[in-house]
Structure 1
Amino acid sequence: MTRSGDDEVDLLIDAWSTILPDVDLSPLDVMSRLRRVARDLQRVREAAFSAAGLRAWEFDILSLLRRSPDGFSMTPSQLASWTTATSGTITYRIERLEERGYLVRTDNPADQRSRIVTLLPAGSERVESAMRVLVAAEADLLDGLTWNQVASLIESLRTIGASAERDARR
C-alpha cells in the first residue's frame, strides 16, 4: 500500500510484507534507512572536506595527529592501526601530506627503525577548518530534529553500534 510521503524504504518494506507477511520487517526498515543515510552522509562529508581543501583520507590522518595525546605526533604504525590502512598506503599518504606542508617526518629517538610524524601549523589549521565545515554540514542534516530527538538518536545508534561490534567479534 503506497502512502503519501512514502520513501524508497517504505516501498521496499511494503513489497516484502506482501511476500513474507509472517516476518517482522522492522529491523530491515531501520537498517535500510541507516545504510542509505550512511551513503548520503559519506557524500556530505566528502563535500565538506573538499570545500576545506582536503580528501577524506587526508582529513583522517590530520585529525588523528591533531587529537594525538603525544603533542600532534604519532608513528606511521600508529596511524596505520587507527586508519586500518596498510603500511604502504600510510607511507604514500604521509608523503603526500608532507609535500603539502601539513606534517613532517623525523627520526624516532626511541626506535631507529621508525619515524615520528608530526602535524605542522598549516596542517592543524587545515584540519580545524575542515572540522568546522564538516560540523556545519552535519548540523544542517540534523536541523529538523529537537535536542531530545538528537540525544535519543545518539543513544540508539550507540546501542546499535555496540551490538554490531559484539557480533563482529564472534
Structure 2
Amino acid sequence: MTATDGGSATGGSATGGPGGPGGDTVAAVVRQWRAVHPDLDTGPMEIIGRINRCAALLQQAEDAPLRRAGLSRAEFDLLGALRRTGHELTPGELARETFSSGAAVTKRLKQLTERALVERRGDTRDRRVAHVRLTDAGRDLVDG
C-alpha cells in the first residue's frame, strides 16, 4: 500500500485514531504497517499522512467560526462571492464563482434567503433570471 493508492494511508481521524487525541497518528499507523509488512516503504505515507493531518486540523480551525455563525462552508462561499464581487450575481454566476452545481446553489440560496442573509429580485427584462444580493445582515455576517 502506498499513500497515493486511493485509500487512507494513515487511518484514524484528524482528532484521534490510532495515535489518540493529540498524539502522532501517523507514527502509530506506520508502526502498525511495519508490524505486518516490515519491508514496506512507509516514507510516502509518513509525509503525505502528516500533510493530510495538518490540512484536516487547519480545516477544523477554519470551520469553527463558521459553525459558531451557523453557516456551512458552502453557504459562506456563496456569501463571500457576493461580498467580494461587490454586486448582485445570478445563481449561474454564483455557481461558477463557487465551483458548485446549479442545484446546490439553488438549495443554499433558499436557506440563506429564509435566514434573511440574501435577497433575490427578478430581472425586469427576463423573468427567468434572478439577481441575488447580500442583505445588511448577510454583509455584517461575512464582515464579522
Conservation of the 8 A alpha-carbon contact between 2:91 and 2:132:
yes
For residue 121 of structure 2, the aligned residue among 69, 94, 106 is: 106
Structure 1 residues 20-70: Cα deviation after superposition (integer angstroms, max 9, x where no partner): 5363x33211211222233333333332112233232221111111111xx
Instruction: Tell me which residue corresponds to 1:39.
Output: 56
Please say if 1:13 is aligned against 2:30. Answer: yes
Q: Percent identity?
A: 33
TM-score by length of 2: 0.67
| Aligned residue runs from structure 1 range 17-166, under 5 A | 17=34, 19=37, 21=39, 23=41, 25-68=42-85, 71-108=86-123, 112-129=127-144
Give me the whole-angstrom Cα distance separating, in 1, the residues matched to 2:84 and 2:92: 16
TM-score (norm. length: structure 1): 0.59
Contact 2:118 2:132 in 1 (8 A): yes
- The code of the aligned residue for 2:136 comes to P
User: Structure 1 residues 22, 44: CA separation in 2 closer, same or farther (over 3 Å shift)?
Assistant: closer
> Larger RCO: Structure 1 or Structure 2 (Cα < 8 Å, ≥ 6 residues apart)?
1
- Cα separation, 1, equivalents of 2:120 and 2:83: 15
In structure 2, C-alpha distance between the alignment counterparts of 1:28 and 1:63, rounded to whole Å = 35
Gaps of 5+ in 1: 130-170
Corresponding residue for 1:141? Answer: none
- Aligned partners of 1:30, 1:7: CA distance in 2, in Å? 13
User: What is the rounded CA distance, in whole Å, between the counterparts of 1:28 and 1:81 in structure 2?
Assistant: 34
Q: Which amino acid aligns with 1:34?
A: I
Name the structure with the higher helix share: 1
Aligned residues, how many? 122
- Which secondary structure does the structure 2 equivalent of 1:91 belong to? helix
State how far apart, in whole Å, the 1-side matches of 2:47 and 2:125 are: 49
For structure 2, which runs of at least 5 residues remain unmatched after alignment? 1-21
Residues 73, 15 of structure 1: alpha-carbon distance in 2 compared, 3 angstrom cutoff = same
Cα distance in 1 for residues equivalent to 2:24 and 2:90: 46
